Amino acid sequence: MSVSMFITNDLTFLQKISALNWWLILLIICITSVGLASLYSAAGGSMDPWASRQMMRFAVGVVGMVIIAIIDIKWWYRLTWPIYFLGLLLLLAVEIKGHIGMGAQRWIDLGFIQLQPSELMKIAVVMAIARHFNGLSSDQACNLRFLIVPALIVIAPVALVLLQPDLGTSLMIIMAGAGMIFIAGAPIWLFVAAIILVSVSIPVAWQFLHEYQKQRVITFLNPESDPLGAGYHIIQSKIAIGSGGVEGKGFLQGTQSHLNFLPEKQTDFIFTLWVEEWGLLGGLGLLSLFLLVFISALSTSLRCKHNFGRYLALGVSINFSLYVFINIAMVMGLIPVVGAPLPLVSYGGTSMLAALIGFGLMMSCGIYRHSKVTR
């Protein structure tokens, strides 16, 4: 396949399919298979109620991912702002008539799926920041005047997500946005100043936290202070991880999960279930798959000839990696519990949809890496 084909984008359907990142697709299938096996185990050796639904969502999502991938990246560039503002409208819809679950108003009930707009907004923010920095020189990216727009791109959805309230997702959007701004070439002193400012303002911010959010921080610092209450989740998670040992207890043999000591085993704490049954080796194997996905995303970004594709692929990778790091660090007790799912593994329709959309955009960057994406 010649470079000239990519420059003119005169590709047949079969050429686009053959240009897909099949290695990345294989990694995605492997990671999702881990999730399906874990959901099957979480249900006591049954496909219902979680594994069967997750499998159907994945099948539909993969088709959508491929469709997104073969669409010329220039179309996604043009649709960036409509997608971003649609995401803001969905977040506003959550505030007006959102579905309340687990004490928070974060979902829109569409009948066939409980849509969580904040998950999709993470991808929209990445697209918007990538579009803004496309065409800017390195000198302009360092200029504070050109950093106002990406700051507003992040602040607008964060303000709406905080109203739900969802501090964890808000922090995820902030970190992903900050990561992209840093990669674009923003001065390091700006981030140092931001860290100092955040550190100084912690006592003030503490007063505005909800009671359950304060309790999560207190529990993180000393989970044994309330072992049967707020500290129960993380204590049981640590016990399950430790009891798995090197090789694990075996498939369907996890006592902490199957005796219902482990809470939210199908969502936030699914990595704990996996490690209890498959041990340290299984945990490292899953982490290796996530690492290979990151390397694939980095390779796509480096091979892309236009800034929009470079920033978009890196932004998707940053968002995906943050999810992985925060979820695993959370269940191991390294950070407070924030309710972040493990991508492609945890049960959840919107989180899987967001991940597959992101990967579809990333593969589109790879297929059309020689496109001329201009303002």
**By C-alpha distance, which of 37, 53, 101 is closest to 285?**
37
Residue 292 has pLDDT above 90, yes or no: yes
Q: What average pLDDT does the segment 129-145 reach? A: 83
User: By CB neighbour count within 10 A (0-12 exposed, 13-18 middle, 19+ buried), where does 83 fall?
Assistant: middle
Residue 355 near residue 361 (C-beta atoms within 8 A): no
d(CA 14, CA 229): 57
Q: What pLDDT is stored for residue 4 in this prediction?
A: 40
Residue 68 has pLDDT above 90, yes or no: yes
Give the pLDDT confidence of 87-104 residue by residue, as tens digits.
Answer: 999 999 888 876 555 555
Residue 237 near residue 272 (C-beta atoms within 8 A): yes
Provide the terminal-to-terminal Cα distance of the chain, rounded to the nearest Å. 28
- How many CB atoms within 10 Å of residue 187? 14
Look up tokens 């420059």; give the residue: 7
pLDDT band at 83 (very low <50, low <70, confident <90, very high): very high
Q: What pLDDT is stored for residue 143 in this prediction?
A: 80
pLDDT band at 3 (very low <50, low <70, confident <90, very high): very low
Residue 306 has pLDDT above 50, yes or no: yes
Instruction: Print the SS3 string covering 271-325.
Output: HHHHHHHHHHHHHHHHHHHHHHHHHHHHHHHHHCCCHHHHHHHHHHHHHHHHHHH
Q: What average pLDDT does the segment 267-294 reach? A: 94
Model pTM score: 0.88
- For 161, half-sphere exposure in the C-beta direction (CA atoms, 13 angstrom radius) is 23
Q: What pLDDT is stored for residue 93 in this prediction?
A: 87
Q: What average pLDDT does the segment 93-119 reach? A: 72
d(CA 74, CA 84): 16
Q: What pLDDT is stored for residue 262 in this prediction?
A: 78
**By C-alpha distance, which of 14, 4, 24 is closest to 300?**
24
User: By CB neighbour count within 10 A (0-12 exposed, 13-18 middle, 19+ buried), where does 136 fall?
Assistant: middle
Dmax over CA atoms of the chain, in Å, equals: 65
pLDDT band at 47 (very low <50, low <70, confident <90, very high): very high
Residue 104 near residue 169 (C-beta atoms within 8 A): no
Q: What pLDDT is stored for residue 8 in this prediction?
A: 43
Q: What is the dihedral of CA 29, 31, 36, 41, to 10 degrees?
A: 150
d(CA 320, CA 109): 25
- In the sheet with 104-109, reading across from the earlier edge strand, the strands are 99-101, 104-109, 114-115
Residue 240 near residue 233 (C-beta atoms within 8 A): no
Give the pLDDT confidence of 330-369 residue by residue, as tens digits.
Answer: 888 888 887 788 999 999 888 899 999 999 999 999 999 8
Q: What average pLDDT does the segment 134-155 reach? A: 85
Residue 1 has pLDDT above 50, yes or no: no
d(CA 13, CA 282): 38
Residue 109's H or E segment, with its range, is: strand 104-109
Q: Which of 13-17, 198-202, 243-247 is least confident?
A: 198-202
**Could you tell me the residue ranges of all domains in the chain?**
3-367
Tokens encoding 272: 């704990």
Average pLDDT of the residues of the chain: 86
